[in-house]
A and B are shown apart, each in its own frame.
Chain A
């Protein structure tokens, strides 16, 4: 199955079939439909932006095949899409594959900021965690400099909850898992006893149900039933995952959400893509970012990116 989805010939065949069936309709809708392939973290964002775009420009539609960030570079390089949302930067290999095919690098547009939060049960009194502690709780490699593992709440200086620290996280192939491993475990390895959930919401639900639990999830999945834990940076300053701290880049476990665009240098964007990115980088688009629980970008970053893409300033 998956193999078929990834292979260019499958897409080519699908396109031909689609073209055969949709040939008459195609002519009317080609300008209006924007097909994107990529991150499932950004699926909600893309959907809401698409709805807003349709309201601004009746007849325009945005379609997202949300099968994970890894699918975006493949589709961009294969030429099946011009816009690929990704929740992580492209890897060197993905970047090179694109350049090898087109001769120019893909354009990167940062559209929102996201953060990973470390959450505990709402009655857990834990005040903050240092990097070393976080690593010692979740990993078995202690690459961030801890001396040994922390397996019990008592080792963190707490009397309540007593007992073992129960770990929850995302499944091994998600971008969230990968980001947490690189940033919070210093590239080390998770303990095998981390419960792996298929989504961030499931992690939050599991932590909410168990006073002994700790887990990590995307910022937008935060709920009142769990408490986010501030992280201490190298100077010992507590950094809570507040939107302002994430926007400034002070909070350690933050990431940018990006659109990768296939745009030859010197050319301007096609109409549908241009309208979409204009919306995303506008105040209206950034309001949607906030609504969905992500963090919007500072105005300076927005206008710099607009200038670079040759869009008119608002």
Chain B
């Protein structure tokens, strides 16, 4: 009797889980089908819409300008008509994602390599929840802080930022070099596993030094005003909310997911490989660089890809930190406008069934396709990785 009850419960649970899985797949398919159905009339309109499709991707002749240009100005209702150019939005999306990866990938991979190989177990147990907390921060909050606090602060302290950019890497290298020079007795007191902690005072010191040096550098090299110098000498506009700010904010949001996956990949490398390398006389660094990283490289790659997928789809951070200027410049200090942010801002006001509405859904479809592809690819790569570990005699 009890046996049959348990069997029944098992069967019910299986059915529920299967139903849930099918439901999720159906929902994802449903979203894709909805987007495709809404976008199709754009390409095969029932009646002429007056929108030329090649104008979406090529520069258009714009009244008042000498040369054809890309313009995304969807709300012009009078004589000149709205201007729909998708390249500035695609460019903005990719630029934002690229800068956030530039900032997040070194930090996240460095942290992952350090915590998987060198960090003491106790510290590592503290680090993970902290980073998970970071991941749990809502995008609105990060975007809000970036747009209203970080952007104005950075603008006022450009000299300091430059000094930090110079001092942080050199300072950290110097710290590592100094540690090597310490007498063996002291080195034992400051074990490598706790390096992260005793780097903290060093960071504070660097910060203080940058504070002192920044304004002096600005006066010495840039005539006292870095922003004016950038503009006059290099011809770079400095927008208050720019691609670098977006990169920093979104990098902050992306770090935890890249870290978590890369750390999994690295600590999943079978111990025997690292031990073997070290037994053969390789240093820790050589072990990391020549053995661990190549072994875990598919996992690291998929971590970066997941990060890229998240960065491309992220909406609120770009919306609040980017200024939403639909520009196409390579200047990282200029603003940008992403597809996701455009959808969030404009869709509520776009007339359903109109060209603007369908174009926004086309942007949504592009985003969907991109994240879907990237995530699927990352998942495939990760499965391969686990198979490889199993072959190498690992635990999983």
Residues of A within 8 A of B (CB): 1-3, 6-7, 67-68, 70, 140-142, 162-164, 166, 171-174, 177-178, 181, 187-190, 192-198, 202, 205-206, 209-210, 213
Contact = CB atoms under 8 A, between A and B. Distances in A.
Given A173-B345, A192-B72, 6 more contacts: A2-B348, A141-B63, A196-B324, A198-B320, A209-B152, A209-B240
Contact of A163 (B228, B320, B324, B325): B228
25 contacts: A7-B352, A163-B228, A163-B231, A164-B238, A166-B240, A171-B345, A172-B74, A173-B75, A173-B345, A177-B75, A189-B64, A189-B73, A189-B80, A192-B73, A193-B325, A193-B327, A194-B325, A195-B239, A195-B324, A195-B335, A196-B325, A198-B319, A198-B320, A209-B152, A210-B152
Nearest to A139: B64
A3 B353 contact: yes
A-B complex: 9 closest residue pairs judged by Cβ atoms: A173-B349, A209-B152, A195-B323, A3-B352, A196-B324, A141-B64, A172-B75, A171-B345, A210-B240
B326 A192 contact: yes
B64 A6 contact: no
B64 A140 contact: yes
Interface in B60-83: 62-65, 71-80, 83
Contacts of A2: 347-348, 350, 352, 357
B75 A178 contact: yes
SS of A interface (majority) = loop
Task: Report which residue of B38, B74, B349 has the largest number of chain A beta carbons within 10 angstroms of its beta carbon.
Answer: B349
Contacts of B346: 171-173
A185 to B, nearest CB: 11
A140 B147 CA distance: 26
A140 B327 CA distance: 14
A67 B348 CA distance: 8
B379 interface: no
B82 to A, nearest CB: 9
Contacts of B77: 178
A210 B240 CA distance: 8
A192 B237 contact: no
Contacts of B345: 171-173, 196, 198
Contacts of B351: 6
Interface in B315-368: 319-320, 323-327, 334-335, 337, 345-353, 357
Contacts of A3: 38, 352-353, 357
B135 interface: no
Contacts of B80: 189
Contacts of B264: none
B227 interface: yes
B191 to A, nearest CB: 45
Contacts of A70: 349
Given A162-B228, A189-B64, A196 B323 contact: yes
B16 to A, nearest CB: 28
B330 to A, nearest CB: 15
B139 interface: no
A115 B350 CA distance: 25
A19 B332 CA distance: 55
Nearest to A189: B73
B114 interface: no
Nearest to A162: B228
Contacts of B38: 3
Interface string B109-152: 00000000000000000000000000000000000000110011
Given A68-B348, A193-B327, A196-B345, A164 B237 contact: yes
A188 B155 CA distance: 31
Contacts of B349: 68, 70, 173-174
A173 B64 contact: no
A163 B227 contact: yes
Contacts of A177: 75
Nearest to B347: A2
Contacts of A206: 147, 240-241
Contacts of A198: 319-320, 345
Contacts of B147: 202, 206
A193 B335 contact: yes
A192 B325 contact: yes
Contact of A193 (B62, B227, B239): B239
B144 to A, nearest CB: 10
B249 to A, nearest CB: 15
Contacts of B228: 162-163
A195 B64 contact: no
Contacts of A142: 64
A128 to B, nearest CB: 24
B158 to A, nearest CB: 12
Contacts of B357: 2-3
B240 A173 contact: no
A1 B62 CA distance: 33
A188 B78 CA distance: 9
A187 B74 CA distance: 14
B251 interface: no
Contacts of A7: 352
A289 B228 CA distance: 44
A255 to B, nearest CB: 16
Contacts of B238: 164
B88 interface: yes
A6 B348 CA distance: 10
A268 B72 CA distance: 47
B89 to A, nearest CB: 12
A295 B58 CA distance: 46
A195 B319 CA distance: 11
A101 B203 CA distance: 70
Contacts of A178: 75, 77
A293 B148 CA distance: 24
Contacts of A162: 225, 228
Contacts of A190: 73
Contact of A187 (B62, B78, B241, B324): B78
A42 to B, nearest CB: 16
Contact of A195 (B83, B148, B325): B325
A164 B75 contact: no
Contacts of B155: 209-210
A173 B348 contact: yes
A160 B234 CA distance: 21
B241 to A, nearest CB: 6
